[in-house]
């Protein structure tokens, strides 16, 4: 949702696409923010931190699927490290 919303604004401003696309992007970003508010406050910080790793991997998937640029091995390695970091944040043992 977030990536699509941001891309919609980028496409509007940088590629001359319709302002309606930007409006759809704004709706996507609002929906994304509303979904994030569903996270229990006690877990929000860790959830947002772990989301960072997923965001990076999803951005590379978007790069490939939508923009037609295939990520290279360094992109893939970096995304795996980020996802592993997110998993460690969420699943690591706590005292």
* pLDDT tens profile 21-37: 999 999 999 998 898 88
Does 52 share its domain with 24?
A: no
Q: Is the dihedral of CA 26, 22, 65, 77 positive or negative?
A: negative
| pLDDT confidence of residue 40 | 81
Considering the domain architecture, whether residues 45 and 89 belong to the same structural domain is answered as: yes
Do residue 33 and residue 45 come from a single domain?
Answer: no
Range of the domain at 16: 1-38
Reported as a single tens digit per residue, the pLDDT across 42-81 is 778 888 888 888 889 999 999 999 889 999 999 999 999 9
- Residues 3, 18, single domain; the answer is yes
User: CB neighbours of 90 closer than 8 A, spacing ≥ 6?
Assistant: 46, 47, 50
Q: Are residues 20 and 50 in the same domain?
A: no
d(CA 94, CA 79): 25
More confident residue, 40 or 87: 87
Q: Do 31 and 46 belong to one domain?
A: no
Structure pTM? 0.70
Two tokens, residue 58: 């999803």
> Per the structure, how many domains does the chain have?
2
Q: Are residues 34 and 56 in the same domain?
A: no
């Amino acid at each position: 949702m977030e990536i699509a919303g941001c891309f919609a604004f980028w496409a509007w401003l940088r590629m001359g696409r319709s302002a309606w696309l930007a409006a759809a992007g704004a709706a996507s970003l609002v929906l994304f923010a509303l979904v994030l508010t569903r996270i229990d406050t006690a877990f929000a910080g860790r959830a947002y931190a772990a989301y960072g790793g997923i965001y990076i991997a999803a951005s590379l998937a978007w790069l490939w699927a939508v923009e037609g640029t295939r990520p290279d091995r360094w992109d893939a390695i970096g995304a795996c490290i980020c996802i592993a970091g997110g998993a460690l944040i969420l699943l690591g043992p706590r005292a």
